[in-house]
Structure 1
Amino acid sequence: MLNFSEACERNKGVILPMLQHYLESHRCVLEIGSGSGQHALYFSQAMSSLTWVPSDLSFNLPALLENLQNSPCENILSPLALDVGVQPWQIPHQPDAIFTANTLHIMDENSVRAFFDGAGALLECGGKLCVYGPFRYSGQYTSASNANFDLWLKDRDPRSGIRDFETLDRWAQNNGMRLQHDHAMPANNQFVVWVKN
């Protein structure tokens, strides 16, 4: 598999029950930053009633497409080229949920803010935004390993880094979304769900 991710393999099993719980009545999920497509393949097989719409930056699309093209899952649609900073998002479907994993600490701050702007504009009332990854709370890391990870991220790209949850929640609220749940997950990650008002 091209661009294979060890992190996806480790976390897909703990993310799945969360998605099954929060998206049990939903029909169509837009995944932001699908990467290798490992999550799309795993979740779409386990949640056959959901239509899964993968997306990523255009330069990542050829590898993603190749990984998905031999999938037996009919509920995975062709991946979309999507840059969260280009507004409005051009989505040929109307998703009632958006999911992303381990992307917000890779994006620069303007892109993270644009992510919430785009999600808020796309989702209709009752739509859910599900985000998995590490966060800081009140400016504090949840573990020493996350603090070290943040240093590594900033050394690689000073514009990246683990985000403050309070800032993200404010941006979500500014775009008509309210916090539904914030779950602590293994390996010092969180699974956060916002709902469009």
Structure 2
Amino acid sequence: MLGWDVDVNEALTAPAVARNRDAILAVLREILPDSGTVLEIASGSGEHAVHVAAALPGLDWLPSDPEPAARRSIAAHALRAGLANIRPPLALDAAAAAWPVARVDGIVCINMIHIAPWAATEGLMVGAGRALSAGGVLFLYGPFREADRPFAESNAAFDASLRARDPAWGVRDLDAVAAEAARHGLTLVRRVAMPANNLSLIFGRADR
């Protein structure tokens, strides 16, 4: 990391990270391999990347984000942390037809699919189906609608606020997300209830 052109003052802070990072890390400890490369989609400020990479030093953490300001923040947080297992952040849009990665052992996507058009979810599943190695996992975190469970009032209000900001955004139906994943060889293998009416969803790929 010493060769990075980084201004540590460009590190951003996302308040939600401090609230959910430990709960997310607890799940990631269980599902990610002990070693290998993990791609993080829509890394945002980079705070999750630093938190997880510090706790799981056997993993090579590959953050990404389509926004230049986010990538600068990721690099700034990584430089401050002094971690050797975080790579320079990639410019990657989940909806893009091609990703600048070939094969990874895990993919992590935290709080993205509801703050993006549905095309981002479609692209995420295409890319994950292509890039994940045999036995690799895709981890999603965020709020979801579930057909067999009441929609929490807080999530309903959040969904309304998202759609008011952009009609293409919104809390996604878990069944629709799982169906899109299945079209690309990914199976929903685990659902974990998380604080504040969020979920962790783990999809597996075993056909390589």
2:71 is equivalent to residue 66 of structure 1? no
| Structure 2 residue runs without a partner (length 5+) | 1-9
Is the counterpart of residue 10 in structure 1 residue 44 in structure 2? no
Tell me if 1:45 matches 2:46.
no
- How far, CA to CA, are the matches of 2:154 and 2:92 in structure 1? 31
CA distance in 2, matches of 1:184, 1:113: 24
TM-score, normalising length: structure 2: 0.89
Matched residue, 1:116:
125
CA distance in 2, matches of 1:94, 1:183: 26
Give the 4+ runs in structure 1 shifted more than 3 A: 139-142
Q: Does structure 1 retain, via aligned residues, the 8 Å contact 2:35–2:60? A: no
Give distance in 2, aligned partners of 1:142 and 1:14: 21
Q: CA separation in 1, counterparts of 2:171 and 2:75?
A: 29
Residue 99, structure 1, aligned to residue 108, structure 2: yes
Tell me the amino acid that sits aligned with residue 97 of structure 1: G
C-alpha spacing 1:156/1:106, structure 2 compared with 1 (3 Å): same
TM-score by length of 1: 0.94
What is the root-mean-square deviation of aligned Cα atoms in Å? 1.6
Separation in structure 1 between the aligned mates of residue 148 and residue 41 of structure 2, nearest angstrom: 26
Paired amino acid for 1:7 = A
Q: Which residue of 1 aligns with 2:151?
A: 142
Paired residue total: 196
From the superposition, tell whether residues 151 and 141 of structure 1 become closer, same or farther in structure 2 (CA, over 3 Å): farther
CA distance in 2, matches of 1:52, 1:13: 17
Quick check: 131-140 or 28-37, which moved more? 131-140
Identity across matched positions, percent: 35
1:90-114 CA distance string (max 9 Å, x none): 11x6310000111110010112111
> Equivalent of 1:152, from 149, 161, 169?
161
